[in-house]
Homo-oligomer: A and B are copies of this chain.
Amino acid sequence: MLYLIGLGLGDAADITVKGLEAVRSCSRVYLEAYTSILTVGKEALEEYYGKELVLADRDLVEQGADEILKDADVTDVAFLVVGDPFGATTHSDLVLRAVNAGIPYKVIHNASIMNAVGCCGLQLYNFGEAVSVVFWTETWKPESFYDKISKNRAAGLHTLCLLDIKVKEQSIENTMRGRKIYEPPRFMTVSQAADQLMQIIHRRREEGEELGMTEDTVCVGVARLGSDDQKICTGSLRQLVSCDLGGPLHSLVVTGRLHPLEVDMLRVNAEPDALEHLQMIDSSTYTS
């Protein structure tokens, strides 16, 4: 049996009881280590589970799937994923390989940012399509996430922005020279994502385009959701550029039309400066 087990979002104790029992019963346990991270590392998980874990990077999952699935028809193998197992496309691929090899699989679900973000006070069924915000480079500054946010906002919907993670990336030079030297991991912060959005807004304003959001749009930054030191910070986009929510992972929500109950909930976690702004929204047509 191949078990795909979600670890949730905080630390080792966020696994479900069912998940923990499965981990302990498996002969091999892989920890997917490139689409997300917990607030604790591999060693803390190994100690908590009482099991040795094999780190599974992108290469292993995408090219070494046979190794992961080896003998899984006669023994139990666990594949651990931060959040829920179906957050990333790559895990569908592993399931398909198992099915094609006649290996039964079982999913043990858990919280992921896609549903846990509801704790910021915005209703999950008022969210439109989620977007990914990637790190810009000197020569590559995609803006498609801005267009999707605008489209959601036009329909009154909030947008969850998943922020880029670069783990085990090689520099262009090292890639070209075939050197297996990796850059330090990078995790986009709420501040960086807000800054990229600001740049898009400025550029489009200069070009006279109609704007789907502005510097004053209410946004929510969240960090380390589900952990004891999680941070939720509500403010205008401009305010979030200068916020410091600490270590990874961060996500950003751009709000659409706000319901009065949502405004009340946002206020619980609002920056002092943002309170006035929310007050304003509260009494505007926004909430109607």
Contact = CB atoms under 8 A, between A and B. Distances in A.
Interface of A: 6, 8-10, 13-18, 20-21, 83-87, 89, 92-93, 95-96, 99, 107-112, 114-116, 118-119, 121, 123-132, 151, 155, 157, 162, 225-226, 261-262, 264-265, 268
A99 B268 contact: yes
B261 A89 contact: yes
B13 A124 contact: no
A118 B18 contact: no
Q: A13, A15, A99: which has the most chain B beta carbons within 10 Å? A: A13
B17 A15 contact: yes
Contacts of A264: 92, 96
Contact of A18 (B10, B225, B265): B10
A9 B20 CA distance: 16
Given A20-B17, A96-B264, A110-B110, A84 B129 contact: no
A119 B86 contact: yes
Nearest to A118: B86
A128 B256 CA distance: 14
